[in-house]
């Protein structure tokens, strides 16, 4: 007869082995999921990637300033005041930390994590040209971002990346609050661990914005945009490297209100994506995003902003379940200078 102690030890070892195998299977599933979705989600989850970072973040949100190009870090455009002088330049640094509930934007096996980003940007306005009914300004610039997941999980740590972006655009500003913008930007993501390219994206874009006054402390901002993405990226199994090529159409409305020394910016945005190639050939999707940006101006060049948003994605035609929901919550510091 086998002693009881030996039988107990055998049972414990057997249970430990089963639990270990389950953990290995779960980790493997996460790694496989991450590898399949890496390039696919780079554009899905970062809706503002097509908006040049330097343009989004350079100008102060002080409505009395003679802003270069007025758009917030989350893509919310600001009322524009026509510039009266010529050449201008701007540069800055942003650091953000936020929690995301669904790092890979999946319907199953969601992974939550902290995200830390650091962005350096610079740009220049190449003169101001009076066209009669509007003022036209060409802009060039670029940015570099470090994107790190903070959760200690291999599936996430393998997906840290650096982003380089450059752009050239024309901005037309009208005295009635309308502005039009069109241009080309280039985006490149490289995996931090392997120093390999994840994707590169040429983005052709056109947008229109209307800002108007609601009352002494409140303004409304409506914007619409159309974009085409020409992408070369890591392909999914059986797919093609251009399967992220797509058309984007977006509409948004934001309210900007000054309240007790803070700037409150609730916003709703809906985006329609139509994919063209590979496994995504018949894929279309609608993405709804609700966000609230709260800004505290510390000095003329330094401000603190909250990050809070909820995103719901409804996708069809890809042969899989690409629907997902996610929310982000956090904050960051913005340091900027203009010349």
- Write out pLDDT tens, residues 214-271: 999 999 999 999 999 999 987 777 678 888 899 999 999 999 999 999 999 999 999 9
Q: Give which of 266, 268, 290 is closest to 223, Cα–Cα.
A: 268
Give yes or no for a contact between 185 and 50, defined as CB atoms under 8 angstroms apart: yes
* pLDDT confidence bin for 73, thresholds 50/70/90: very low
In this predicted structure, the answer to whether residue 286 has a pLDDT above a threshold of 70 is: yes
Mean pLDDT, range 145-171, rounded to an integer: 91
Which whole-number Å values give the CA distances from 201 to 3, 247, 280, 293, in the listed order? 67, 13, 16, 28
Beta-carbon count within 10 A of 123 CB? 26
Distance CA 275, CA 121 (A): 30
216 contacts: CB under 8 Å, gap ≥ 6: none
Q: Is the dihedral of CA 85, 258, 171, 338 positive or negative?
A: positive
Distance CA 317, CA 289 (A): 21
Q: What is the mean pLDDT of the chain?
A: 80
- In this prediction, residue 317 carries a pLDDT of 77
Give yes or no for a contact between 32 and 103, defined as CB atoms under 8 angstroms apart: no
Residue 246 tokens, joined: 């797509």
All structural domains of the chain: 4-338 (2.40.160.40)
Instruction: Name the phi and psi angles at 273, rounded to 5.
Output: -120, 135
Distance CA 102, CA 30 (A): 13
Distance CA 327, CA 193 (A): 27
Give yes or no for a contact between 186 and 169, defined as CB atoms under 8 angstroms apart: no
Share of the chain above pLDDT 70, in %: 73
User: Contacts for 309-314 with beta carbons within 8 Å, 24 or more apart?
Assistant: 309/74, 311/287, 312/287, 312/288, 313/44, 313/105, 313/285, 313/286, 313/287, 313/288, 314/285, 314/286, 314/287
Give yes or no for a contact between 86 and 66, defined as CB atoms under 8 angstroms apart: no
Mean pLDDT, range 278-297, rounded to an integer: 92
Distance CA 311, CA 332 (A): 20
Give yes or no for a contact between 302 and 332, defined as CB atoms under 8 angstroms apart: no
- In this prediction, residue 79 carries a pLDDT of 34
Which whole-number Å values give the CA distances from 163 to 53, 85, 160, 196, in the listed order? 11, 32, 10, 12
- In this prediction, residue 3 carries a pLDDT of 53
Higher pLDDT, 282 or 214: 214
Core vs surface per residue 15-34: b (16+ CB within 10 A) or e: eeeeeeeeeeeeeeebeebb
Mean pLDDT, range 310-326, rounded to an integer: 83
Q: Residue 161 class from Cβ within 10 Å (0-12 exposed, 13-18 middle, 19+ buried)?
A: buried
- In this prediction, residue 109 carries a pLDDT of 80
Tally the residues of the chain.
339
Tens digits of per-residue pLDDT, 74-113? 333 333 444 455 788 999 999 999 999 998 888 878 899 9
Give yes or no for a contact between 40 and 324, defined as CB atoms under 8 angstroms apart: no
Phi-psi region of 153 (alpha: psi -120 to 50; beta: other; left: phi over 0): beta
In this predicted structure, the answer to whether residue 176 has a pLDDT above a threshold of 80 is: yes
């Amino acid at each position: 007869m086998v002693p009881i102690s030996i039988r107990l030890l055998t049972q414990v070892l057997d249970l430990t082995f089963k639990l270990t195998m389950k953990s290995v299977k779960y980790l493997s599933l996460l790694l496989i999921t991450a590898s399949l979705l890496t390039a696919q989600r780079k554009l899905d989850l970062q809706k503002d990637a097509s908006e040049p970072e330097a343009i989004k973040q350079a100008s102060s949100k002080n409505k009395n300033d003679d802003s270069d190009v007025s758009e917030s870090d989350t893509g919310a455009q600001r009322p524009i005041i026509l510039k009266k002088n010529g050449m201008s330049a701007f540069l800055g640094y942003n650091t953000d930390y936020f929690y995301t509930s669904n790092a890979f934007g999946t319907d199953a096996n969601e992974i939550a994590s902290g995200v830390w980003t650091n962005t350096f940007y610079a740009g220049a306005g190449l003169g101001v040209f009076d066209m009669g009914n509007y003022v036209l300004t060409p802009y060039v610039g670029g940015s570099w971002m470090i994107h790190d997941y903070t959760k200690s999980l291999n599936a996430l740590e393998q997906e840290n990346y650096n982003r380089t972006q450059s752009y050239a655009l024309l901005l037309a500003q009208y005295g009635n609050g309308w502005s039009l913008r069109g241009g080309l930007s280039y985006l490149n993501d490289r995996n931090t661990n392997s120093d390999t390219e994840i994707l590169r994206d040429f983005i052709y874009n056109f947008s229109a914005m209307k800002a108007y006054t609601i009352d002494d402390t409140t303004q409304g901002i409506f914007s619409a945009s159309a974009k085409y993405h020409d992408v070369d990226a890591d392909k999914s199994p059986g797919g093609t490297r251009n399967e992220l090529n797509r058309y984007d159409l977006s509409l948004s409305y934001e309210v900007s209100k000054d309240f007790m020394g803070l700037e409150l910016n609730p916003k709703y945005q809906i985006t329609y994506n139509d994919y063209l190639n590979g496994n995504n050939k018949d894929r279309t999707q609608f993405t709804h995003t609700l966000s609230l940006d709260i800004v505290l101006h510390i000095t003329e060049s330094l401000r603190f902003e909250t990050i809070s948003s909820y995103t719901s994605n409804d996708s069809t035609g890809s042969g899989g379940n690409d629907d997902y929901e996610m929310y982000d919550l956090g904050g960051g510091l913005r340091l900027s200078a203009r010349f």
